[in-house]
Structure 1
Amino acid sequence: MKQYLELVSHVIQNGTKQANRTGINTISFPGAMLRFDLQEGFPAITTRKMAFKSAIGEMCGFLRGVNNAAEFRALGCKVWDQNANENAQWLANPFRQGDDDLGEIYGVQWRKWPAYKQIPLSNTAAIEQTLSNGYKQIAQGEEDGQAYVVLYKAIDQVRQCVDTIIKDPGSRRILFHGWNVAQLDEMALPPCHLLYQFHPNVETKEISLTLYIRSNDLGLLYPLEESAQYAMAA
């Protein structure tokens, strides 16, 4: 808590005022970082009353790939209700699929990141390799006189991370991402915490996690359900 309050003070004293889409100016200080050792306690750092059950329900929803406010409510989390049903911009979005729909938010990208490959029909080796990796052909077309096929696969990024931690813990590629540029317009809210990298230590049998947040209300800092290390762009 001490380092958090010191950071809040530092941002207030050294940050710069900036206008943004909400119409309420912010005091911004990019690139700040907080570090937590889980052996010293759970990093639930906030200046307000913490709705712990709601935070756990939300995380369970993300890990299940939930994209519907009703499913979050069933898990004890109501924080997505307003984004789903009261956000004027989202209500007018043609991608919205009725009440409680949230679109392709966090958990969808974590567990079912949509991956497409367009491969020339003449490149049979690449097509065969892609099919062997679980992709399915969904379309065929022609561009500049060259025939091609389109293959698709929903990628479970979290599962890939778990598998790599087990099989290749020395890898520096154990990460997953929520910022899918191609689908930002299909989300009720684009991800704030968006990049997560695991750092296993084989010798000590510990795992650190670096979390990058593109935007966060530092004064009301969210409970940190999952991070051992927490990198924040305020």
Structure 2
Amino acid sequence: MKQYLELVAHVIKNGTLQSNRTGVRTISFPGAMLRFDLQEGFPAITTRRLAFKSAIGEMVGFLRGVNNAAEFRALGCKVWDQNANENAQWLANPFRQGEDDLGEIYGVQWRQWPAYKRIALSNPAAIELAISQGYQQIAQAEESGESFVVLYKAIDQIRQCLDTIIKDPGSRRILFHGWNCAQLDEMALPPCHLLYQFHPNPETREISLTLYIRSNDLGLLYPLQEPAQYAMAA
């Protein structure tokens, strides 16, 4: 709690006013960091009431790959309703699939990241390797006189992280993210918290997590990340 309040004071004192897409100017201070030892307790603030059940429901939805506001509501989380059904830009987006649809948001990227490979037909070894990895050929075409195939599979990033933690805990490549540049226009809201890296310590049997947040409403939403307009950013 103390470091959170100190950070808020630091942002107010040292941040700069900036305009953004919401129309609400922010006091912005990039690169701030908070560290927590969960063995000392959960880092919940005590200066206001927290929507804890809603945040848990949202996280469960992410882990299930939910992309529909109705499914979030069923989990006790209503924060996605506005993004799904009241966001004028999303309502006009041809990728939106009707009421409550949210597109390819957080959980979709976490559990079903769309992966493609474009491999020349003249490289059968690479095609065979990709197929052995679970890719399926979905198209064949020609470009600049070269024939190639396109292969696809959905990647479960969470499953990959868990498997690596178990099988190779010393790896420094245990991470997942949600910032899929190719699908940002297919999302009701691009991810705010977008990169997560696990750091297991096989010697102490402990695990740390580093989380990168591109845009964090420090005053309103911290520490329970939920979509909303930004009034103060860190």
TMscore range, shorter length? over 0.9
Count of residue correspondences? 227
Q: Counterpart amino acid of 1:162? A: L
Deviation for aligned residue 1:126: 0.2
Q: Counterpart amino acid of 1:27? A: I
Rate the CA distance shift 1:218–1:56 in 2: closer, same or farther, 3 A. same
In the alignment, what sits opposite 1:222? 222
Q: Is the 8 A contact 1:45 1:221 kept in 2?
A: no
Deviation for aligned residue 1:224: 4.7
Deviation for aligned residue 1:53: 1.1
Q: Is the 8 A contact 2:52 2:224 kept in 1?
A: no
Classify the secondary structure of the residue corresponding to 2:34. Answer: strand
Q: Counterpart amino acid of 2:206? A: E
Deviation for aligned residue 1:43: 1.4
Q: Is the 8 A contact 1:48 1:220 kept in 2?
A: no
Q: Is the 8 A contact 1:45 1:224 kept in 2?
A: no
Equivalent-residue separation in structure 2 for 1:64 and 1:184 (angstroms): 20
The Cα offsets for residues 175-213 of structure 1, whole Å up to 9 and x where unpaired, read as: 001000000000000000000000001111110000000
- Structure 1: which 5+ runs fail to align? 226-232
Rate the CA distance shift 1:178–1:47 in 2: closer, same or farther, 3 A. farther
The Cα offsets for residues 65-92 of structure 1, whole Å up to 9 and x where unpaired, read as: 0000000011111110000000000000
Equivalent-residue separation in structure 1 for 2:196 and 2:45 (angstroms): 19
Classify the secondary structure of the residue corresponding to 1:35. Answer: coil
Normalised by the length of structure 2, the TM-score is 0.95
Identity across aligned pairs (percent)? 87
Equivalent-residue separation in structure 2 for 1:85 and 1:202 (angstroms): 46
Matches within 5 A, 1:1-234: 1-45=1-45, 47-224=47-224, 234=234
Q: Counterpart amino acid of 2:213? A: I
Classify the secondary structure of the residue corresponding to 1:220. Answer: coil
Equivalent-residue separation in structure 2 for 1:24 and 1:52 (angstroms): 26
- Structure 2: which 5+ runs fail to align? 226-232
Equivalent-residue separation in structure 2 for 1:186 and 1:46 (angstroms): 37
Deviation for aligned residue 1:47: 4.4
Q: Counterpart amino acid of 1:156? A: D
Classify the secondary structure of the residue corresponding to 2:43. Answer: coil
Q: Is the 8 A contact 2:65 2:110 kept in 1?
A: yes
In the alignment, what sits opposite 2:230? none
Higher RCO, 1 or 2 (CA under 8 Å, sep at least 6)? 1
